[in-house]
Chains A and B, each alone.
Chain A
Amino acid sequence: MALELTAERKQRLAALVGRYPNKAAACLPALHVVQEEHGAIDADAVEYVARLLEIPTGRVEEVASFYTMYKRKASGRYHIEICTNLTCSLMGAEHLREVLARELGIQPGQTTRDGMFTLSEVECLASCGTAPVLQVNGEFHEGLTPDRVKALVGELRTRAAGG
């Protein structure tokens, strides 16, 4: 099925493209907007961006595969990204990663079978002063402890059950 965007997003995309001296430069922002709507950068998304920016699909593909934030397939409803870089590890992040893996029943890089959670281990999130930290769908949770991590997972499960 060909990919379609909402009118609002189309407008945003057009405005974004106008911010650069050439269309091809808008590749990163365009991929962000398309992923927001589509959930991932698959072949349809690549095709869409290529046509919009009038560049070969190979060029878009090359960019999409370089950056970690472009998901090649959609992640779970809640994407938990835990930082285990040096400061967070000094403050207990390796242990929290184990706690999360146990709570969710998955390893980093995996998604729960019900599609609710994806767990990733990520590099320094520029929040070392409040380490250890993680992000859920881009939102920070800082100064974590094992209890707070367990409570967070519980909260997300309740939120999901509530609709």
Chain B
Amino acid sequence: MAGERLLTRNWDTPDAVRLPVYEQRGGYKAARKALGMTPAEVIAEVKKANLRGRGGAGFPAGVKWGFINAAAPTKYLVINADEGEPGTFKDRVLMERDPHQLVEGCIIASYAIGAHHCYIYIRGELPKAAKTLTGAIAEARAHGYLGKSCFGRPFELELTVHRGAGAYICGEETALLESLEGKRGEPRLKPPFPAVVGAFGQPTIVNNVETISAVTHVLERGGDAFTALGLPGDGGTRIFCLSGHVKKPGLYELPVGTPLRTLIYEHGGGIREDRALKAVIPGGSSTPVLLPEHLDAPLSVDGLKAVGSMIGSAAVIVMDETTCVVRAMWRLARFYHHESCGQCTPCREGTGWLERVLWRIETGVGRDGDVDLLKSIAENMMGNTICPLGDAAAMPTLGFLNRFRTEFEQHVLQGKCPFGGRFALPAGWQA
């Protein structure tokens, strides 16, 4: 792998899940260092790092921390470990292979914002990650790194693992907070933002697992050095989740700004059976699809914005020339319909409508005007909902329509799916 590995540096050391091994490999130095600084100094370092949120929205972590009301007596840090955006599989591995890195990041971030209780909201379907993390927390407590006085300093911190129970929408930060409070995961209207009114009515910072794991390295090497690994306004390395029709799918930690082509062709080994590339979803299922002509785009917040998409959760889904994009979009629409919490009419009805019209087109019974209908449904959803799930369904629909309109129209004109109504089977499989 090219370049330096920070977040994944312990992944080849299976014992690194144990505290003594983690520590032997340089762990918990950053937390000790942070606790010797003032909280404001820690926040300044994270600002200098230009660490953009790894959960989807790409908001700078240091800036977010700066919004918290320092005078409030009770504040919370909440870690978003609900990993559910289709295509994304990094947070699970970060927790399973290097739980102490996350625990250390939680200590640093809690100290910076003045939180004495941090909740890790972990997706219910990941019992192994939850167990590994719970074990690491117990070890850290036994060593005095958590509890009444972390590292013997006058800073108290409790860490609690909270398991979700199966609902993608709980990855949205305000739904997550509702769920943490023991309720249905229905998103809240913003403002107020969580930094003002968050968990249990108190100021709260919500950050993704990878964001907080990276904080450890920001403190270890300093904000400027961290930025220098990536781009000026978008620092460091991040973990790309490469999946789909590539020879070597997997997780690749690379500098922010690495071109899409390098990820797919150098690290991923290119397209399976050396077929032609057709389409790439670059940042998880909610982000608009890209074409081979976009392969030189740098993988960064601004780099993908410039080509009409988003970095999102850095989940890169690759589709080769055999792929029916109508079927691909239908599968995503079905997902969003299933996961809509139902609070807003445009999202609840719109996602269902998208799913039905796409299925109609895919199964050869699409009608004249259906392609325009899809466009108008999606456009009416955009911006008209409480949370961004409505947009998350509409944006990829509009993306596929923009880039592959002819393929949708062909389905309707021919009265059938030109790809035989299914995804091509992997080599060697018999139908």
Of A1-9, A125-133, A152-160, the stretch lying at the interface with chain B is A125-133
Determine whether the beta carbon of B243 is less than 8 Å from that of A85.
Answer: no
Interface residues on B, range: 35 or more
Determine whether the beta carbon of B249 is less than 8 Å from that of A131.
Answer: yes
Which residues 57-104 of A sit at the B interface, judged by CB distance below 8 A?
62-63, 66-70, 84-87, 89-92, 94-95
Determine whether the beta carbon of B182 is less than 8 Å from that of A95.
Answer: no
Supposing A87-B243, A124-B84, A126-B125 touch, asked if A67 and B249 sit within 8 A by C-beta, the answer is no
Supposing A86-B86, A87-B243 touch, asked if A146 and B166 sit within 8 A by C-beta, the answer is no
Residues of chain A contacted by B244 (CB below 8 angstroms): 86-87, 90-91, 128
Query: B16: CB under 8 A from chain A?
Result: no
Determine whether the beta carbon of B92 is less than 8 Å from that of A126.
Answer: yes
Residues of chain B contacted by A89 (CB below 8 angstroms): 327-328, 331, 423
Determine whether the beta carbon of B124 is less than 8 Å from that of A123.
Answer: no
Complex CA–CA separation, A85 to B285 (angstroms): 10
How many Å from the CB of B419 to the closest CB on chain A?
A: 12
How many Å from the CB of A83 to the closest CB on chain B?
A: 9
Query: A13: CB under 8 A from chain B?
Result: no
Complex CA–CA separation, A127 to B160 (angstroms): 24
How many Å from the CB of A63 to the closest CB on chain B?
A: 6
Complex CA–CA separation, A127 to B86 (angstroms): 9
Determine whether the beta carbon of A28 is less than 8 Å from that of B164.
Answer: yes
Complex CA–CA separation, A53 to B181 (angstroms): 13
Complex CA–CA separation, A94 to B179 (angstroms): 32
Determine whether the beta carbon of B163 is less than 8 Å from that of A129.
Answer: no
How many Å from the CB of B105 to the closest CB on chain A?
A: 19
Residues of chain A contacted by B168 (CB below 8 angstroms): 123
Determine whether the beta carbon of B426 is less than 8 Å from that of A92.
Answer: yes
Q: Map CB proximity to B onto A1-24 as digits: 1 under 8 Å, 0 otherwise.
A: 000000000000000000111101
Question: Of A63, A123, A129, which one neighbours B84 at CB under 8 angstroms?
Answer: A123
Which residues 17-41 of A sit at the B interface, judged by CB distance below 8 A?
19-22, 24-29, 31-32
Which residues 167-202 of B sit at the A interface, judged by CB distance below 8 A?
167-168, 179-185, 200
Query: A135: CB under 8 A from chain B?
Result: yes
How many residues of A are counted as interface, with CB atoms below 8 angstroms from the partner's CB atoms?
A: 46
Residues of chain B contacted by A85 (CB below 8 angstroms): 86, 285, 331, 335
Complex CA–CA separation, A125 to B185 (angstroms): 19
Which residues 56-70 of B sit at the A interface, judged by CB distance below 8 A?
none
How many Å from the CB of A10 to the closest CB on chain B?
A: 18
Residues of chain B contacted by A62 (CB below 8 angstroms): 183-184
Supposing A29-B162, A138-B125 touch, asked if A95 and B331 sit within 8 A by C-beta, the answer is no
Which residues 129-170 of B sit at the A interface, judged by CB distance below 8 A?
158, 160, 162-168
Residues of chain A contacted by B167 (CB below 8 angstroms): 66-68
Determine whether the beta carbon of B88 is less than 8 Å from that of A126.
Answer: yes
Residues of chain B contacted by A95 (CB below 8 angstroms): 422, 425, 429, 431
Determine whether the beta carbon of B200 is less than 8 Å from that of A69.
Answer: no
Of B41-49, B293-301, B315-323, B360-368, the stretch lying at the interface with chain A is B315-323
Determine whether the beta carbon of B182 is less than 8 Å from that of A128.
Answer: no
Complex CA–CA separation, A84 to B241 (angstroms): 18
Complex CA–CA separation, A125 to B423 (angstroms): 20
Determine whether the beta carbon of B200 is less than 8 Å from that of A21.
Answer: yes
Closest to A31 in B: B165
Residues of chain B contacted by A26 (CB below 8 angstroms): 182
Complex CA–CA separation, A48 to B424 (angstroms): 49
Determine whether the beta carbon of A123 is less than 8 Å from that of B86.
Answer: yes
Residues of chain B contacted by A112 (CB below 8 angstroms): none
Determine whether the beta carbon of A68 is less than 8 Å from that of B166.
Answer: yes
Determine whether the beta carbon of B162 is less than 8 Å from that of A28.
Answer: yes
Complex CA–CA separation, A86 to B85 (angstroms): 11
Determine whether the beta carbon of B315 is less than 8 Å from that of A128.
Answer: yes
Query: A107: CB under 8 A from chain B?
Result: no
How many Å from the CB of B329 to the closest CB on chain A?
A: 9
Interface residues of B (CB under 8 A from A): 83-89, 91-92, 123-128, 158, 160, 162-168, 179-185, 200, 241-245, 249-251, 281, 285, 315, 317, 319, 323, 327-328, 331-332, 335, 338-339, 422-423, 425-426, 428-431
Can you list 27 A-B contacts (CB < 8 A)?
A19-B158, A20-B200, A24-B182, A25-B182, A28-B162, A29-B163, A63-B182, A63-B184, A69-B125, A84-B331, A86-B281, A86-B328, A90-B317, A91-B244, A92-B429, A122-B125, A123-B86, A125-B125, A126-B83, A126-B91, A128-B86, A128-B243, A128-B317, A129-B251, A138-B127, A140-B128, A146-B430
